[in-house]
Structure formats: C-alpha cells, structure tokens
Amino acid sequence: MRVLVVEDDAVLMNGLQVGLGLAGFTVDAVSTCVDASAALRSSAFDAVVLDLMLPDGSGLDVLNELRGRAVGTPVLLLTARDSIPDRIAGLDAGADDYLGKPFDLNEVAARLRALTRRGNGGASACRIWRDLRLDPATMAVSKSGEGVRLSRREFSILHALMERPGQILSKSQLEDRLYGWQEDVESNTIEVHIHNLRQKLGPGVIETVRGVGYRLAEDSI
C-alpha cells in the first residue's frame, strides 16, 4: 500500500517513513502543503497521513483541495492540535480519522490499514480468495492453511491483487504501489516478483493479461 506522509518535523517524518515501511507500507514523505498537493495530483496513494501545521499553510487546505477534486483517498490527520473542536473541524473537512501527537506507530499503521480496507469496501481485516488468506496486519499469507513466506514486495503485490479480485493492475500501477519516489526501480522488477510469487503460490493464481497487466485468475480457469 502506498502512503503519503505530510509532516514538517524531520525526525518524525523519518520515523514515519521508516516505521510505516517496516509495517509493509510504501511511504513517500513531503513537508509542505505545496509539495503535498503536487504529490497528490501526480500519483495515486492508498492513504494520506497529514499533519495540520505546515510551514506554508494548514493541512486542512491540502485536504480541502483533495476533496474539492472529488478524490476519496483516505486521510488520517496526525496533529498536535487534538482538542475536540480541532477534531471536529478536521473530520468535517473530509478527514477519515484523527490521531493526536504523540501517537503509537503501530496504531498509525493499524488505522491506515483500517482506512484502506474500508475504502475498498471490505469489512474483514483479512483478504480471502479461494484458498489464499492474507492478513495485512501481520503480513502473513497462507494457502490452504499452510503459511507461505513472502518478501515485503511480494506481499505488497499479492495484497494489491487481492484487494479487487479480477481487476487488472498494470505494471506501472504495481510499481507505484511498491516503490516511493526515492527508490530506483529496475525495469523488470515486477516480473521478477510475479515470477517468485507464482513459484511460492503455485500456478493458476496470478494471471498475465498480455499488454495490460496482472490479475488474480478468473474462476473459469
């Protein structure tokens, strides 16, 4: 899952970037409203972690702009201003959740998972497709009850495909989800991960739609 962190405190920004990365998220981080708006216009994110007090304005402006464009990306406000009126203003402006500083890193990760899950219309924390079971919270995958060890990237690809079974995801969409801007992507990395996934999960799970991308295999197969 790709997450945009908007936070102007360098230490906290770094902590969120690394910490959420460890929790299985792909994290991009910016520190100003201008950069945040630009990032949100240019790339698709599964969720946004937004600080309210930014050097060049309020995070609420970014949120308003985002909602103004009718983009429904889940937004988690992360702020030192956590009085009830502040929370109400934030939620009314279109935020999906609100967390006051200082917070627990694991809680941020859990809330982000919950937000994206709800955004995808799923009520259960675990994704189940045929005999595959994927738990985003523990990053565990099992096939027919037996655990399968996946790398972080492989897990992310499988997670993306399982979010909307049958929907085709292009290679660049998958790359977007897997890598932040700072990371260099080898041209055939996705292919390599897909190959590894097929080896670990067995055939008939991931289907290649030639020239378009990948999806979970149709039932007819």
Partner 1 sequence: MKSIRSRLFMILMITTGVVWMSAIAWIYLSTRAEVERVLDARLIEAARMVSSLITSQEIDPKRAAQIPAVEPTMHASYDRQLSCQIWALDGTLVGRSDAAPATPLSDAQDGFSETLIGGETWRVYAVVNTDLGMRVLVGDNMRVRDRLVADVIRGLALPALLILPILAGLIWLSVRKGLGPLNNMAHALETRSASDLSALPDVDTPSEIKPVIRSLNGLFGRVHAARERERDFTAFAAHELRTPIAGLKTQAQVALGSEDPGIRANALRQIVVGVDRTSRLMRQLTDLTNAERGETDSDNHRVNLGKLASRLADDIRQHYPGAALLEIDEKLHDIDLDIDPSLFMLATRNLMENAVLHSRVESPVHCGMRLEGDGVALTIDDSGPGIPEDELPKVCERFYRGRNKTAMGSGLGLAIADLAAKRLGGSLSLKNRPEGGFRAELHLNAAPSSTTPRGEFRHNDGELSPLPVVADAKGDRLAHER
Q: Which residues contact partner 1 (rule: CB under 8 A)?
A: 8-16, 18-19, 22, 32, 51, 55-56, 78, 80-81, 100-106
Minimum CB separation from partner 1 for residue 144, in Å?
29
Closest CB to partner 1 among residues 104, 191? 104
State which residue, 6 or 78, has the beta carbon closest to partner 1. Answer: 78
Buried b (16+ CB within 10 A) or exposed e, 182-198: eeeeeeebbeebbeebe
Nearest residue (CB) to partner 1, 47 versus 160: 47
Q: Is the CB of 51 or the CB of 176 nearer to partner 1?
A: 51
Query: What sign does the dihedral 201-135-114-184 (CA atoms) show?
Result: negative
DSSP assignment of 164-189: STT--B-HHHHHHHH--TTS---TTH
Nearer to partner 1, 50 or 132 (CB): 50
| In the complex, least distance from residue 30 CB atom to partner 1, rounded to whole angstroms | 12
Burial status of residue 5 (CB atoms within 10 A of its CB: 0-12, 13-18, 19 or more): buried
Nearer Cβ to partner 1 (39/78): 78
Rounded least distance, CB 134 to partner 1, Å = 21
User: Which CB contacts under 8 angstroms, 24+ apart, belong to 62-68?
Assistant: 62/6, 62/33, 62/36, 62/37, 63/90, 63/93, 63/94, 63/95, 64/93, 64/94, 65/37, 65/40, 66/37, 66/40, 66/94, 67/93, 67/94
Q: Which residues contact 211 (CB under 8 A, 6 or more apart)?
A: none
